[in-house]
């Protein structure tokens, strides 16, 4: 008889909890569930936050959260799931950073925590109680970890940089910036 492995049980609890939260947030963006704005509301919010193109950004954020969350909860393609969720949260951190750290003041504490947790699960692996384990870790190889996190980091950096440049150029055109 096999003993329950506490480490694997802990990873299961962490994966399911984090994945469920991410999936719920993503479903708000994509489908308007749980009081969310759906794709139209999320597109408008992305435009207001300076993401360009806003609809593509809304879809990417929703898919990164919902898809990454579901895959994390299942423990399937865990490196890609963790990387996608972490990259998505990097964009959210960029939005909330000007408000400071703590979430109560609108800061980036919460998206940073979700991003770090998703990244840690992606790097650590899903554990024994997962679909990755059941499939012989076909989608959880060291090269997948490296490729997923490199791709996610590059994509997140490009999106955040594009948003920052767009915001900077729109700020330059505002009255009062040049003494007018």
The predicted-structure confidence for 83-126, as pLDDT tens digits, reads as follows: 999 999 999 999 999 999 999 999 999 999 999 999 999 999 99
Among the listed residues 72, 80, 90, 95, the one whose alpha carbon sits nearest the alpha carbon of residue 24 = 72
CA-to-CA dists, residue 16 to 28, 34, 46, 126, 132, angstroms: 18, 18, 28, 10, 14
Model confidence at 179, pLDDT cuts 50, 70, 90, reads very low
**pLDDT, tens digit, 9 for 90 and up, residues 54-95:** 999 999 999 999 999 999 999 999 999 999 999 999 999 999
Burial level of 127, CB count in 10 A (0-12/13-18/19+)?
A: buried
Please list, in sequence order, all residues whose beta carbon lies within 8 angstroms of the beta carbon of residue 165, skipping any fewer than 6 positions away. none
* pLDDT > 70? residue 5: yes
More confident residue, 178 or 135: 135
Number of residues that this document lists for the chain:
180
């Amino acid at each position: 008889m096999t003993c329950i492995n506490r480490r694997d049980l802990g990873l299961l609890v962490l994966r399911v909890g984090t994945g469920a939260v991410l999936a719920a947030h993503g479903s708000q963006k994509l489908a308007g569930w749980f009081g969310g704005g759906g794709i139209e509301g999320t597109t408008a919010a992305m435009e207001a936050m300076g993401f360009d193109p806003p609809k593509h950004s809304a879809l990417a954020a929703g898919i990164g959260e919902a898809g990454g969350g579901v895959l994390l909860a299942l423990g399937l393609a865990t490196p890609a799931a963790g990387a996608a969720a972490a990259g998505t949260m990097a964009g959210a951190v960029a939005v909330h950073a000007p408000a400071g750290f703590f979430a109560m003041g609108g800061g980036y504490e919460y998206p940073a925590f979700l991003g770090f947790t998703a990244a840690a699960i992606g790097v650590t692996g899903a554990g024994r109680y997962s679909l990755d384990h059941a499939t012989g870790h076909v989608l959880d190889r060291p090269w997948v970890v490296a490729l997923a996190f490199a791709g996610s980091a590059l994509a997140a950096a490009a999106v955040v940089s594009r948003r920052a440049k767009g915001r900077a150029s729109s700020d330059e055109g505002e009255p009062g910036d040049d003494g007018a």
